[in-house]
A and B are shown apart, each in its own frame.
Chain A
Amino acid sequence: MTTNATAPAPVRGPDRDDGSRSAIRRPRATPARRTSVFLSTHPRMRLALLLSAPLFWLGLVYVVALAALLVTAFWSVDSFTGQIRTEWTIDNIVTVLTGSLYQTVTLRTIGVALLVTIIDVALALPIAFYMAKVASPRARRLLVIAVLMPLWASYLVKAYAWRSVLSQDGILEWLVSPFGLSTPGYGLPATIITLSYLWLPYVILPIYAGLERVPDSLLEASADLGGKTWPTVRHVVLPLAAPAIIAGTIFSFSLSLGDYITVNIVGGANQMLGNLVYTNVGAANNLPLAAAIALIPIAIIFGYLALVRRTGALDNL
């Protein structure tokens, strides 16, 4: 190997070859290297390559599907042939807004979703606070696993497990009958209990993450300045955890709003909005009406999101 002209002259003669070999030289311009150079000097191109595939998918699956839903709601079904008529009409919207069945089911669904959300927040707050501020690091890790564990099991398995727990000869009846109580059986209370159970991890985790970000010194500062437990919770913990709590409620509220399987399994004869959609898509074969019904929870969620947006909760999702 000859001495590289651009390399600094090695000091010692015998090491000459070694010296030039170990010196850092410009790498050869391979195609991969040329691409890297091009990308690192063209940030917009980099961004385009990074995001075009997911954005295409997102556009197709989310936006187009939602738009199709919206459009379908303004069509109708020929009652004689059962074919969809693609003429514009607001009949479905009027039906959904004025029909007493739809009003009742909408209110029932909102009620269930609100109760589930309230129960979940009430359960999640102390658990999340314990995890974030009291438990030892080891206990904290175990609790995070314990909270996540139910998510490893299938939704259906959990719903049917509650069906068995709540049944007339189930474990709940056996537990509470000595106290003169009995299982609520299948119905709305059972639906609320089961949904609360299903969505609890989704409420605990954001609240836990939010509380973990609150420095311990803030709680100490409150106590130091004379704040007892309740004033500290009211003036320091809750305001700082509020965005995280709201983030949690978005999960429990929206998931409850769209659910129709749990109410089928443990809800007895009760229907929620999802059931009406399901019935109209299937048995009634009225896709436009189903689409119009499906717009109700979407509108409610949009309203809820608009309400909480100003709290900064969406930054915590």
Chain B
Amino acid sequence: MTDQQPAIRLTGLTKEFGAVTAVDHVDLEIGAGEFFSMLGPSGSGKTTVLRLIAGFEQPTDGTIELFGDDVTRRAPFDRDVNTVFQDYALFPHMNVLDNVAYGLRVRGIGKAERNERARRALASVRLEQMADRKPAQLSGGQRQRVALARATVVQPKVLLLDEPLGALDLKLREQMQVELKQIQRDLGITFIFVTHDQEEALTLSDRVAVFNNGRIEQLGTPAELYERPASRFVADFVGTSNLFDDRVSQALLGRGGVHSVRPEKMTVGAGETGAGIRNAPGTVAETIYLGSGIRLVVDLDAGVRVSVLEQNDRNRTHDEDRGDRVVVSWHDDDVIALGGADAAAPAPAA
């Protein structure tokens, strides 16, 4: 990070709802111009952190600084941050242009100027011809872009996005991801993006904070999170992991503790030889055809079920069937050590 003021600095941020601690002493610095994602399962506190930054909730403890300016006790309308809501929150009684111009209108900017600026913002999301429509007459993707134009027309220092792509179908979602990244580069402002979709977070972000139980479990670049997860939770939540508990690690790796190997780092065959190669025999339990790849679920004799991702490329010559005896191979360098037996972590999802 540079020696400039960070766009957002959270210090000891805590939010309690009655007996529930939604956000638990979060310290975080987000740089200017960064595309930052907060990733986590529902109830992990990521949305609450976003709402605290926006000012919709008051923290129980801790401070929020915006470019070095303490905004903890300021109302939402006194903060230079804007939000793109999960449900878009477009005003249903106003047309698209009035929606986008709303932030300028309540700031007392004259009709001619605010309409001009709103039109430019709409043009930047390619919706200028929709200016007279009501939100109800737009598709989900169009509403999403109107919400984006409405939040950016007032030139915030930080844009908060609360699962903005959650309601879109897969194709549109991928298209909007590209567009979001483009808009963020064009505007050059900080984006804070909340999502429960790990793929989305990895695709879009400069850095990602993985939330769990109101705390940041790990903070890093997408590659760091994926290649070097710091905990069993992160290994399991970011991407797919084959987790070996203490007993299985002893049997397969010859050492204790929790370990993980990514499915694409494993191969299925007759066994390989070479320095650092580990082989484990097992029985194919399921084969799932994915098009570009094949996912094989193998029950290893060591007593663990692993998922192996094989590329469907021209090197692939054999087809496994359920019940076939195979050998699963991987390299020791691809084994991620996740510390001692972590009893607190949830069981890995299938």
Which residues of A pack against B, CB within 8 Å?
A: 215, 217-218, 220-228, 231, 235-236, 239-240
Contact = CB atoms under 8 A, between A and B. Distances in A.
B91 A224 contact: no
B82 interface: yes
B87 A226 contact: no
B75 interface: yes
B87 A227 contact: no
B75 A220 contact: no
Nearest to B81: A224
Contacts of A228: 75, 77, 106
Contact of B103 (A215, A225, A236): A225
A215 B89 CA distance: 8
Contact of B77 (A215, A217, A224, A236): A224
A55 B92 CA distance: 36
Interface string B125-136: 000000000000
Main secondary structure of the interface of B (DSSP, over half): loop
Given A224-B76, A227-B103, 9 more contacts: A217-B86, A217-B87, A220-B54, A223-B77, A225-B103, A226-B103, A227-B102, A239-B93, A240-B91
B93 A240 contact: yes
Interface of B: 54-56, 75-77, 81-83, 85-87, 89-93, 102-103, 105-107, 150-151, 154
A221 B89 contact: yes
B56 A235 contact: no
A223 B89 contact: no
B83 A220 contact: yes
A227 B101 CA distance: 12
A227 B81 CA distance: 13
Given A217-B87, A225-B106, A240 B92 contact: yes
Nearest to A225: B103
A231 B93 contact: no
B107 A226 contact: yes
A221 B150 CA distance: 10
A227 B87 CA distance: 19
B56 A220 contact: yes
A219 to B, nearest CB: 9
Contacts of A225: 77, 82, 102-103, 106, 150-151, 154
A223 B75 contact: yes
A293 B86 CA distance: 56
Contacts of A222: 91, 102, 106
Contacts of B106: 222, 225-228, 231, 235
12 contacts: A220-B54, A221-B91, A224-B77, A224-B82, A225-B77, A225-B102, A228-B77, A228-B106, A231-B106, A236-B91, A240-B91, A240-B92
Contacts of B82: 224-225
B51 to A, nearest CB: 8
